[in-house]
Structure 1
């Protein structure tokens, strides 16, 4: 068994935001809003932006919109931040096409979710990721989120995929901390916490950072958790993580998708967001007021 103790270098930075996709009031793609939001997020401490992921409403944006979004955000942030494009679908061929489109549009990497709905067995999951990784020159982030896809990337599958030269990272929403540590201890995969409550915990055992939906709202506050830990002030890092708990829970665990709650609060703050696309529906006023209250309490902490 090969064991590694060195923390992998962050291939896309440490603090990544799973950026929402702004739409106009009529529901069209808002590229100007996307550029303004991307610039704000990078200015406020994000090392990278993940576009067209779960939070970016990838199931309801077209292939052309995905490519246009990458191009617009690249224009806005230049080389100040990395761009990872979500290209995962339930169809291997379609995923390959999106990966090639993302490469042409200027992405630095691709986020590839486990194929959903068809629930392929592990050998098919592995072949899917290898096929996508072989198709373009971009590094690949595996997206393990079985709560949405219905299929796990099992740790043993991760161990095999880690040998591929372009599979470099994992966005971890597995809620299997033991399995995650098993892979961390035996590979050089860069692990990003995909669940905000795990930011500090994963970082402390050798994770690389996070890909966060809540970072749309408080990018600098979440980054400060990593900064405090890196400075050796673990007590402060723990306190910052704890202070963010209320907003994390209100945004991610209150019965609505994070896309809905984040857009509700961004709109309330007069920041680029716009409506969600059906079948998602907007948050009601009571929910938005609760989010605003949690946000203001965190800012005051």
Structure 2
């Protein structure tokens, strides 16, 4: 595994928050997951995040989560980073999922704060430390208060940065000042978790992204990083701007990103399948708008 200048492991730069394919009857489609994973890696993803929000983790069983990791690991080989989403509302359950993910072949863990109970910051810190102590895997904190109801404050992240296995953050907090405070004081690997912020966060020192839109436009999003690294900031900006209409439809409409992403993948003849309730499929109008935005992007890329 690659390391940062200070020796901490990293999990790649361009990561896809992969959907979990299901069969028409709603069963886990492991063969489809393998085909999609290979496609995404071939098209520019360094690694994959499995069983995150986009992967419908609230409606998959613990066994399905472990089976998914094993199947994707078998398909992509030993060197592709696989980060397992293991966040739950229960520290004990999260620890159990973390150990199961390690056994199944995960490379790292993505851990959101416990939702609904809204623990105070000192309880959050204890929660994350217990999970990081439970396995040998590197841990990414998932700061997404809009979904969990609780922030991981920059002060808490700074304290947690002293743990040898807490190596980064998936940032969906929409707090550019707070993000930069942590980036300037630690060697944590920050990943843009909101696709419209990929270039902005990368320009101030983020490592890369964990992207939902990468399920459908992996090459176009990877180009943002590639062009910026080459000093072609104008071209990087072009790629970011070109993707905004599709990102808006995927992530900012009333439909959840899982629904829109699976809808578009289906029109592209890539493995997806239905969503599990309580999510419901997109209607024909939403499907048409998504495909039209995709075609416009592909045509101008």
* Runs of 4+ with >6 A deviation: 6-10
Q: Distance in 1 between matches of 2:8 and 2:117?
A: 34
* Aligned twin of 1:92: 91
- 1:230-258, CA deviations, whole angstroms, 9 ceiling, x for partnerless residues? 00000100111000000000100011110
The question of whether the paired residues in 2 share the 8 Å contact of 1:9 and 1:208 is answered with: no
* Aligned twin of 1:229: 228
* Aligned twin of 2:284: 285
Q: Distance in 1 between matches of 2:289 and 2:196?
A: 19
Q: Distance in 2 between matches of 1:197 and 1:229?
A: 15
What 5-or-longer segments of structure 1 have no aligned partner?
1-5
The question of whether the paired residues in 2 share the 8 Å contact of 1:7 and 1:207 is answered with: no
Measured after TM superposition, the shift of residue 79 of structure 1 is 2.9
Compared with structure 1, are the counterparts of its residues 181 and 229 closer, same or farther at alpha carbon in structure 2 (3 Å cutoff)? Answer: same
* Aligned twin of 2:173: 174
Q: Distance in 2 between matches of 1:225 and 1:7?
A: 26
* Aligned twin of 1:251: 250
How many residue pairs match? The answer is 296
* Aligned twin of 1:202: 201
* Aligned twin of 2:49: 50
Q: Distance in 1 between matches of 2:255 and 2:160?
A: 33
Q: Distance in 1 between matches of 2:266 and 2:6?
A: 38
The question of whether the paired residues in 2 share the 8 Å contact of 1:38 and 1:49 is answered with: yes
Q: What is the 5 A alignment of 1:134-283?
A: 134-283=133-282
Compared with structure 1, are the counterparts of its residues 132 and 25 closer, same or farther at alpha carbon in structure 2 (3 Å cutoff)? Answer: same
Measured after TM superposition, the shift of residue 88 of structure 1 is 0.5
The question of whether the paired residues in 1 share the 8 Å contact of 2:9 and 2:138 is answered with: no
The question of whether the paired residues in 2 share the 8 Å contact of 1:8 and 1:190 is answered with: no
Q: Distance in 2 between matches of 1:227 and 1:255?
A: 32
RMSD: 1.2
Normalized against structure 1, the TM-score is what?
0.97
Compared with structure 1, are the counterparts of its residues 221 and 10 closer, same or farther at alpha carbon in structure 2 (3 Å cutoff)? Answer: farther
Q: Distance in 2 between matches of 1:166 and 1:13?
A: 16
Q: Distance in 2 between matches of 1:9 and 1:268?
A: 40
Q: Distance in 2 between matches of 1:116 and 1:49?
A: 23
Compared with structure 1, are the counterparts of its residues 34 and 256 closer, same or farther at alpha carbon in structure 2 (3 Å cutoff)? Answer: same
Compared with structure 1, are the counterparts of its residues 222 and 272 closer, same or farther at alpha carbon in structure 2 (3 Å cutoff)? Answer: same
Q: Distance in 1 between matches of 2:169 and 2:126?
A: 17
* Aligned twin of 1:105: 104
Q: Distance in 1 between matches of 2:110 and 2:8?
A: 18
Secondary structure, counterpart of 2:190 in structure 1: strand
* Aligned twin of 1:3: none
